[in-house]
Chains A and B, each alone.
Chain A
Amino acid sequence: MKYTQGIYPIIRKKAVAAEIYDMTISCPDVAAAAMCGQFVNIKVDGFMLRRPISICGIDKEKGTLRIIFEVRGKGTKALSQLSEGQLVDIVAPLGGRGFELLEKDKKAVIIGGGIGNPPMLPIAQHYGKNAVVISGFRNASAVILQQDFKESGAETILCTDDGSAGRKGFVTDALADCLKKEKPDIIYACGPSVMLKRIIEQAKNAGVRCQVSLEERMGCGVGGCLVCVCRTIRDGEEYYAHVCKDGPVFEAEEVLFDD
């Protein structure tokens, strides 16, 4: 099985920040197949389109997946109102390409911007003390996952735009400081495209491999409808790749951004 459609119970749900929810779903067959960087496509009653949400935790022994999502509109609002014990219909695990994890003793810098932080946790858990996690948020009320990142053993650097938690400034400032101290083997990033664009430049200038996880409005989630495109370079030509099937993770040098 690469992916499946099924109905599974929510075994844990809680609010972790303003309008941000943390949910664990018991789905042993999906958890067994899931890989770091993949996502689930969740059906919400009364809505035409499923909501794609990145996987924040995979527990193959317990057979669970953990997701963290932000209420962005009516669909995610409805999803946030489900409670423990209720069922969700998911198509998962999706994403033809997740994060590529190197040997655990390699040095990784892991960067998440806002709701781009959840898919980074499994990477931090893989590298442990050999990782530096840089998390950026608008302000203190939006901060999530700091305890989880610390428990992974990684060094953590928290940034907020307004300085209300951690250091004031953007994740790219913190990355610049990291790159001055030590050149990592790889950089991973997920977050707003302005952030990714800058990180890709920094990685390129430093000569460090970089993988980014992208987001786009999505339809089927499996590669059938072709709506979730991002601009990439393939074989020297511009190609509109599909986030759901060709990604969501791409190598930095593949990705093109709008000017």
Chain B
Amino acid sequence: MTDMTRLGIDFAGVHFKNPIVPASGTFGYGKEFEEFYPLSELGGISVKGTTGSRRNGNLPPRIAETPSGMLNSVGLQNPGIDHFIAEELPYLKTKDTVVIANIAGSDADEYRTIAEKLDKTDVDMIEVNISCPNVKAGGAAFGVSCDGAAQITKIVRSATKKPVMMKLSPNVTSIADIAKACEAEGADAVSLINTLLGMRIDIRTGRPVLHNNVGGLSGPAVFPVAVRMVWQVANAVNIPVCGMGGVSSWEDAVEIMMAGASLVQVGAAIFNDPMTPVKITEGLSEYCRTKDIMLKDIVGAVKPW
């Protein structure tokens, strides 16, 4: 059992016992990972992206390995918000960890409807995906412009009193401007980065490796991009930043926190080693003990040249 006394973080009004949160889409609804460790070891869980009704997602293949990373194009397969609220949330709420609902819609009304439904539950926080690169009619269309990001933030904000965290796309010219647009409409936090849009082609067949042709790149390959964007956003807004993108070790977690993240999501690394979130937490605990600091003291502690 990790000594978590130095790892606590208050983030957008919610207390996390440690800052490590499995990222949406890499951890299902958590149950599958209870075979490896109790979910209470985690700071929180960002559950699989949930839409207004059940979605089958994209045809396979949905995954491709890349140098130091992977592409995916799941396409928001999920059983829908009503299923989540009735079947998954009550169970997760017994697990002594922060439950973050991740939501996505194909239009503004869908975001509103889902947020209104979640407002009536005991979910701890809502992460709003405006950056899924794998759904034609959805998410990402809003996340790539300040107007679109502001529009969805405003709608979700007016639909719920829960803490609202907007999940941002890196496939933009200025992610700091998008973050500011979200902040201006009342977002409590932002999380970044979602995956970088990528593509691989099988040169023997001439076919893209993914059936969706394109997909989201994640893993260690994107980590420097994530650190840079977290740093830019943290300098641009006054709301807290949740950092993610290729975090695979406690050293990576320290680095992205120094860039300005006060919460850290871990995604693709879980596929390589399902124990990663717990190993990171243990590493952070040892780091803080050795340096005799509280972890929150390192948030934004980078000393730029």
- A residues with a Cβ closer than 8 A to B are 1-5, 43, 47-50, 75, 89, 91, 216-220, 222-231, 238-240, 245
Contact = CB atoms under 8 A, between A and B. Distances in A.
Interface string B59-74: 1111111101110101
Interface stretch (B24-32, B156-164, B235-243, B251-259): B24-32
Interface centre among B32, B64, B70, by most chain A C-beta atoms within 10 angstroms, is B32
Contacts of A89: 273
B139 interface: no
A48 B68 contact: yes
11 contacts: A47-B65, A217-B60, A220-B26, A220-B32, A220-B271, A222-B274, A224-B27, A224-B32, A225-B74, A230-B60, A240-B57
> Secondary structure of the A side of the interface?
loop
A49 B35 contact: no
A2 B33 CA distance: 11
A30 B220 CA distance: 30
Interface in B1-42: 25-28, 32-33, 35-36
Nearest to A51: B65
A218 B32 CA distance: 15
Contact of A220 (B62, B65, B274, B275): B274
Contact of B74 (A2, A5, A47, A226): A226
A3 B35 contact: yes
Contacts of B65: 47-49, 75
Nearest to A242: B77
B271 A225 contact: yes
A91 B28 CA distance: 17
A1 B68 CA distance: 32
Given A48-B68, A223-B28, A229-B57, 6 more contacts: A1-B35, A216-B61, A217-B61, A222-B274, A225-B74, A240-B57
A222 B32 contact: yes
Contacts of A48: 65-66, 68-70, 219-220, 268, 271-272
A187 to B, nearest CB: 25
> Secondary structure of the B side of the interface?
loop
A225 B26 contact: yes
Contacts of A238: 56
A229 B270 contact: no
Interface in B245-284: 268, 270-275
Given A5-B275, A240-B77, A228 B35 contact: no
A110 B61 CA distance: 27
B63 A49 contact: yes
B48 interface: yes
Contacts of B273: 5, 43, 89
B28 A228 contact: no
A243 to B, nearest CB: 9
A227 B268 CA distance: 12
A48 B246 CA distance: 11
A228 B28 CA distance: 13
B275 A227 contact: no
Top 9 nearest A-B pairs (CB, nearest first) are A224-B28, A227-B62, A227-B63, A222-B32, A217-B61, A223-B32, A240-B56, A224-B32, A219-B271
A47 B269 CA distance: 11
A259 B27 CA distance: 32
Contacts of A1: 35
Contacts of A222: 32-33, 35, 274
Contacts of B271: 48-50, 219-220, 225
B74 A227 contact: yes
A217 B268 CA distance: 15
Contacts of B270: 220, 224
B33 A224 contact: yes
